[in-house]
């Protein structure tokens, strides 16, 4: 197996509750190799989304750390972590997180423009054509269906060719048939790009398509 691109090292997350300290994650420890896909599964409230946020460096662990391509995320300040996210990570969310005042093309161009890419318009247009939205370039999110919005989100995530794609319940806002099509597209794009995929899902059929399933129960990793 190739060298790990994600190493989650003895991560614990505690927060203060009205009754005192509450442990959300208990000593989570695992690695993922480049090009692997992993589903984080478990009941609601088990800590799945918190773990994904910590892998992204968006939330900080109480103890432990995360290494992304060898870089210790929590040895960095927030600005440096943001730079690593911009360079290495793509994100797909349940609620799409598109900017309503930007067209589909402008939404996909945005991460490229933040990287200073002069070919942002061309690359974004090609990616939207790739996800079947070549006729929707100038459309705003409010006139797109849920499935179309999630395909824009996929295009935005993959256009920067991320080393790692993090997806949080990517079909949670979609009907079954639309969700199936979106997931087929996500796995297809992932294979083409050679990206490492980490997704949070309640859907067993989606989880079964991943190389690994990381089951979280009451904040503990039960299937490393």
**Cβ within 8 Å of residue 118, ≥6 positions away:** none
- Residue 1, pLDDT above cutoff 50: no
Average pLDDT of the segment spanning 183-203: 90
Kindly state the tokens that stand for 51: 């773990």
Residue 20 has what pLDDT?
Answer: 86
Superfamily per CATH, domain 4-221? P-loop containing nucleotide triphosphate hydrolases (3.40.50.300)
Residue 224 banded pLDDT, cuts 50, 70, 90 = low
For residue 28, name the pLDDT band (cuts at 50, 70, 90).
very high
Q: Compute the distance between CA of residue 213 and CA of residue 224 in angstroms, rounded to an integer.
A: 8
Quick: pLDDT tens for 38-77: 999 998 888 999 999 999 999 999 999 999 999 999 999 9
Can you tell me the mean pLDDT for 80-90?
A: 90
Least confident range of 2-6, 163-167, 172-176: 2-6
Describe the strand order of the beta sheet including 63-68 as a list of residue ranges: 20-33, 4-17, 63-68, 71-72
Task: At 10, list the tokens.
Answer: 């003895």
Residue 143 clears pLDDT 70, i.e. is over it: yes
Q: In the chain, where are the structural domains located?
A: 4-221
Average pLDDT score over the chain: 91
Angle between the N-to-C axes of helices 146-158 and 176-193, in degrees from 0 to 180, rounded to the nearest 10: 10
Judged against a pLDDT cut of 90, whether residue 12 lies above it is answered with: yes
């Amino acid at each position: 197996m190739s060298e790990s691109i994600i190493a989650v090292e003895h991560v614990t997350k505690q927060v203060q509750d009205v009754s005192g300290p509450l442990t959300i994650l208990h000593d989570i420890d695992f690695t993922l190799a480049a090009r692997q896909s992993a589903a984080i599964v478990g009941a609601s409230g088990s800590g799945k989304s918190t773990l994904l946020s910590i892998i992204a460096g968006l939330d900080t662990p109480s103890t432990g750390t995360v290494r992304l391509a060898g870089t210790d995320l929590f040895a960095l300040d927030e600005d440096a972590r943001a730079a690593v996210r911009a360079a290495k990570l793509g994100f797909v969310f349940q609620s799409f997180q598109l900017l309503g005042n930007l067209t589909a093309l402008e939404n996909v161009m945005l991460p490229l423009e933040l990287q200073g890419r002069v070919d942002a318009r061309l690359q974004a247009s090609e990616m939207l054509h790739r996800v079947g939205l070549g006729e929707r370039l100038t459309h705003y999110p409010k006139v797109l269906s849920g499935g179309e919005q999630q395909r824009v989100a996929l295009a935005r995530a993959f256009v920067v060719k991320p080393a790692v794609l993090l997806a949080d319940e990517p079909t949670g806002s979609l009907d079954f048939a639309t969700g199936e099509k979106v997931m087929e597209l996500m796995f297809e794009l992932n294979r083409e790009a050679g990206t490492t995929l980490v997704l949070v899902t309640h859907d067993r059929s989606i989880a079964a398509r991943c190389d690994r399933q990381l089951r979280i129960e009451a904040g503990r990793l039960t299937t490393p």
